[in-house]
């Protein structure tokens, strides 16, 4: 018998938590802030029912929060400095299972979506990636921490680093309008914050919610 999502309680005190079918990523993504979160997301996804696909929803709406059909929706609210690639991958693996069940993953950037948090935001369901007008994405190269015990392991660590970077860049190239050239430009600095309207132009998000409550799409730019 599945866990009632309404009964899931965040006991860790972390600002990364879930409430109902809402996921809040408001802290770094690491072992201290995500261990309980990932278990709770897993319970949430277990409760998502298999359903038919809503192919035309994203092209028929003018407000991503008003949907005539009744799909199952998981909201992800993001204001995070990012963190561990491993925890990002764990979160996205679970959300991908929910996507396989034809749930909509609606990502909401309500502050800064930095580094790994940015990658989570762009992997929301196409047509349901929302940014508040005053919010930003941060795309950067990031840092790696490897400890090698033998000189012969340096080549292996370097090869893994290159493969990992290519996989991370592929997340952006597969889910946004960013090219490899765009990414190289953004990754020249660690502090390249991209404002919401520019994110809209680059297909990093689908909607921008303005301060007066209006939704803007790329078609309206």
What 3-state DSSP class applies to 97? helix
CATH architecture label of 5-220: Alpha-Beta Complex (3.90)
**Least confident stretch, 43-52, 64-73, 107-116, 128-137:** 64-73
Tell me which range, 53-57, 132-136, 184-188, 190-194, is most confidently predicted by mean pLDDT: 132-136
According to the model, what pLDDT value does residue 109 have? 98
Q: Spell out the domain ranges in the chain.
A: 5-220
For the chain, strand residue ranges (E) read: 16-19, 22-25, 73-80, 104-114, 129-132, 136-138, 193-195, 207-209, 215-216
According to the model, what pLDDT value does residue 37 have? 94
DSSP secondary structure of 140-196? ---------SSGGGHHHHHHHHHHHHHHHHHHHHHHSS--HHHHHHHTTSS--EEEH
According to the model, what pLDDT value does residue 164 have? 83
pLDDT average, residue stretch 13-21: 88
For residue 125, give the nearest of 55, 185, 184 by alpha carbon.
55
According to the model, what pLDDT value does residue 168 have? 92
What 3-state DSSP class applies to 29? strand
Q: How confident is the model at residue 1 (pLDDT cuts 50, 70, 90)?
A: very low
Token reading at 83: 């963190």
Are 50 and 101 contacting, i.e. CB atoms less than 8 angstroms apart? yes
Token reading at 44: 């949430």
pTM of the full predicted structure?
0.87
pLDDT average, residue stretch 174-186: 94
Higher pLDDT, residue 192 or 111? 111
According to the model, what pLDDT value does residue 70 have? 67
């Amino acid at each position: 018998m599945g866990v009632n999502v309404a009964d899931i309680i965040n006991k860790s005190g972390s600002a990364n938590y879930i409430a109902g079918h809402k996921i809040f990523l408001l802290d770094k993504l690491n072992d201290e802030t995500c261990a309980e979160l990932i278990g709770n997301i897993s319970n949430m996804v277990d409760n998502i029912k298999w359903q038919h696909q809503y192919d035309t929803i994203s092209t028929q709406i003018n407000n991503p929060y008003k949907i005539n059909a009744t799909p199952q929706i998981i909201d992800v609210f993001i204001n995070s400095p990012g963190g561990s690639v491993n925890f990002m991958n764990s979160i996205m693996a679970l959300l991908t299972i929910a996507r396989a069940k034809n749930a909509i993953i609606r990502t909401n950037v309500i502050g800064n979506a930095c580094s790994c948090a940015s990658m989570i935001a762009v992997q929301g369901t196409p047509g349901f990636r929302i940014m508040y007008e005053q919010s930003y994405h941060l795309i950067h190269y990031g840092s790696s921490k490897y400890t090698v015990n033998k000189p012969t392991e340096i080549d292996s660590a370097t090869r893994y680093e290159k493969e990992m970077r290519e996989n991370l860049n592929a997340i952006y190239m597969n889910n946004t309008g960013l090219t490899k050239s765009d990414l190289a430009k953004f990754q020249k600095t660690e502090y390249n914050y991209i404002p919401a309207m520019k994110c809209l132009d680059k297909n990093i998000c689908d909607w921008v919610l303005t301060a007066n409550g209006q939704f803007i799409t790329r078609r309206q730019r």
